[in-house]
Amino acid sequence: MRTTLILMLTLSVLAAEGYGQDTLRSFQVRFTPGIDFAHLTISNSPEYRHANIRIGGEIEFLLPSEKRKWGLFAEPAYQSFSQQSVGFRYESIEASIGIRYRLFLENKSYFFVNVISLLDIPLAHSQRYSLGIVGNVTLKDDSFDAGFAGGAGFSFRRLSLEGRFYSERVREGSQLPLHYYYRKTSLILGFRLF
């Protein structure tokens, strides 16, 4: 009888703390590869579209209030875009910081919404510019850019799928001769490592 009572108390404590579920720890680490669907418009040129691979990693800290529905996360991700016909090349690390809200469905699944602020750190950013008879010159831009993004997705156990929309990035008066507009959406597959 005493052993049964101790066992029942232990199970009720574990159930109250969520140990019977796929538990949410105070922090999580994810591998976040995906596909970027990018659009580039350069002055006096048509719009160029590409699907590119993105590679990222995320660390999230879950807030203890409201049964861990809220989280803060940081996600550095590598992204690139190049258009050879106009001599445009753009590679960067997007350093993102965001807030996530979860809507739990059952023990191991939930919908989530993200609001993100990002800093774009260029690795390679250049544009070929024609000087007429003299020929072409390639100019580089190493300035940082900032933006915002919003996303929504679904998570089940260790896997998640998210659609993310980014604000348009406009470069005017920078170190590059022609201003351009760059925008993208992403489809991100997340895998929780721990």
Q: In this structure, what CATH number is given to the domain that contains residue 159?
A: 2.40.160.20
Whether 63 maps to a domain, the answer reads yes
Range of the domain at 136: 27-192
Sign of the CA dihedral running 81, 39, 181, 166: negative
| 6 belongs to a structural domain | no
Residue 95 is assigned to a structural domain of this protein: yes
In a domain, 22, yes or no: no
Element (H, E) at 14: helix 2-17
Instruction: State whether residue 78 is helix, strand or coil.
Output: strand
Asked if residues 77 and 94 have their Cβ atoms less than 8 Å apart, the reply is yes
Q: Tell me what pLDDT residue 89 has.
A: 80
User: Which of 17, 193, 30 minimizes the C-alpha distance to 112?
Assistant: 30
CB atoms within 10 A of CB 56: 20
3 lies in some domain: no
Q: Is residue 138 domain-resident?
A: yes
13: left (phi over 0), alpha (psi -120 to 50) or beta: alpha
DSSP state of 25: -
The tokens for 34 are 């995906």
| pLDDT tens digit at each of 194 positions of the chain | 454 444 444 444 444 444 334 455 788 999 999 999 998 887 767 788 989 999 999 999 999 877 789 999 999 999 888 887 777 788 889 999 999 999 988 778 999 999 999 998 888 776 665 544 544 555 556 667 788 999 999 999 899 999 999 998 776 555 555 677 888 999 999 999 98
Q: Is residue 17 part of a domain?
A: no
How many domains, in total, are found in the chain? Answer: 1
What phi and psi, each to the nearest 5 degrees, are found at residue 12? -70, -40
How deeply is 75 buried, as exposed, middle or buried, from its count of CB atoms within 10 A (0-12, 13-18, 19+)?
buried
